[in-house]
Structure 1
Amino acid sequence: MMTDDTKPVESLLPYDRWTEDAMREVALRALDHVGTHGLPGDHHFYLTFRTDHPGVQIPGHLKARYPEEMTIVIQHQFWDLKVDRAAQTVSIGLSFGGVPAKLVIPISSMTAFWDPYVRVGLRFGPPEAAEDILDVPDTLPLSPAPAPAEEGEKEAEAEGPAQVVSLDAFRRRPARD
């Protein structure tokens, strides 16, 4: 007979890690596709990353303006978008206030990926600390940072709620006393 007192079994397999890796792979495949073939139709991306993460390479004025996190818009004016799996980075050329810049973004620094055209969004926890994201709310709004950094750093227009993929549905919640 099953009761509500049954304690969940602790997994010996890293399902959280595998799921997180698979979600990052979806974003990387989209970025890689666009780097090779260009953006199809009205697709465009918001890519959010930690600017304070080791290995991030951005101009100093952007680091000063976005000391912790930054969202870039990959839409009209970008070039040399490349996913380098060996180096574990994404690199891209963008203009900021008309000044061209190259950004190198470690894959592990990415915190969100959003394609508002099809309302698909992914949130990522830090790869080295998957356990730290267990208390993330069930629904995560994927609103871009206050000032997206492409096309004159214009404000992003709201395009309705994104379809957010959250790992919480698959995670065990700690028992509450």
Structure 2
Amino acid sequence: MSREIDYGNLMHSAMRGLIRTVLQDIAENGLPGNHHFFITFDTAHPDVELADWLSDRYPGEMTVVMQHWFDNLTVDDEGFAVTLNFGDSPEPLYIPYDAIRTFVDPSVEFGLRFESADEEPEGYAAAPDAEEEQDTVQVPAEEKKNADIVSLDSFRK
């Protein structure tokens, strides 16, 4: 009986654990210094909770910013809830970690990106027997200054 270590899923779990740890610290202590987050998530994920008008306006994905004003941040093992301001209208959201596509803190040029095999970034090629999901730690181009991009695919067998 042959078994293999599933590095792809282990990395996803570790990266989502990092997000959970960061958000838990923010919930308890607030945002330090210039830290702020751009979080892009899949609005069609079955466990995402957001106002109908937001899901209608953003049917595929949505990026939220946690910076100057946010309220009621609660973090659990599956995701987080937060109230954000949309044009002077506070709206509660629940975002499961599995729905997150990118998590970026541009104040320190840090970013995580969760990609599926059909969303490979330009310049990256999947190995013929690649896992269902690709893992890339990267900062989106609009937020990238001189950040290093590390492809986790290079560590796969």
Both proteins in one fold, TM over 0.5: yes
SS in 1 for 2:53: helix
Structure 2 CA distance for partners of 1:18 and 1:167, relative to 1, 3 Å: same
Unaligned runs of 5+ in 1: 1-9, 145-157, 173-177
State the distance in 2 between where 1:159 and 1:76 align: 21
- Which one has a larger percent strand, Structure 1 or Structure 2? 2
Kindly report which structure 2 residues correspond to 1:105-116, keeping only aligned pairs within 5 A, or say none.
105-116=95-106
Q: TM-score, normalised on structure 1?
A: 0.72
- Stretches (4+) displaced over 6 A: none
Structure 2 CA distance for partners of 1:163 and 1:75, relative to 1, 3 Å: farther
RMSD across aligned positions (CA)? 2.4
Among candidates 91, 94, 97, match of residue 104 of structure 1:
94
State the distance in 2 between where 1:28 and 1:112 align: 14
Structure 2 CA distance for partners of 1:117 and 1:61, relative to 1, 3 Å: same
Using the TM superposition, give the Cα deviation of residue 104 of structure 1 relative to its aligned residue in structure 2, in angstroms: 0.5
Q: TM-score, normalised on structure 2?
A: 0.80
Summarize deviations over 1:11-58 as a string: whole Å, max 9, x none: 711122111111111111111111110000000011111000011111
Between the aligned residues of both structures, percent identity stands at 39
SS in 2 for 1:42: coil
Structure 2 CA distance for partners of 1:109 and 1:40, relative to 1, 3 Å: same
State the distance in 1 between where 2:131 and 2:23 align: 27
State the distance in 1 between where 2:152 and 2:59 align: 27
Higher relative contact order (CA 8 A, sep 6+): 1
State the distance in 1 between where 2:58 and 2:149 align: 24
Using the TM superposition, give the Cα deviation of residue 171 of structure 1 relative to its aligned residue in structure 2, in angstroms: 2.3
Q: Is it true that 1:131 corresponds to 2:131 in the alignment?
A: yes
Kindly report which structure 2 residues correspond to 1:44-83, keeping only aligned pairs within 5 A, or say none.
44-83=36-75
Structure 2 CA distance for partners of 1:100 and 1:160, relative to 1, 3 Å: same
The range that moved more, 13-22 or 46-55, is: 13-22
Q: Could you say which residue in structure 2 is the equivalent of 1:142?
A: 140
SS in 1 for 2:44: coil
Q: Could you say which residue in structure 1 is the equivalent of 2:20?
A: 28
Q: Could you say which residue in structure 2 is the equivalent of 1:170?
A: 155
Using the TM superposition, give the Cα deviation of residue 61 of structure 1 relative to its aligned residue in structure 2, in angstroms: 1.2
Structure 2 CA distance for partners of 1:162 and 1:48, relative to 1, 3 Å: farther
Q: Is the 8 A contact 2:79 2:96 kept in 1?
A: yes
**Number of aligned residue pairs:** 143
SS in 2 for 1:17: helix
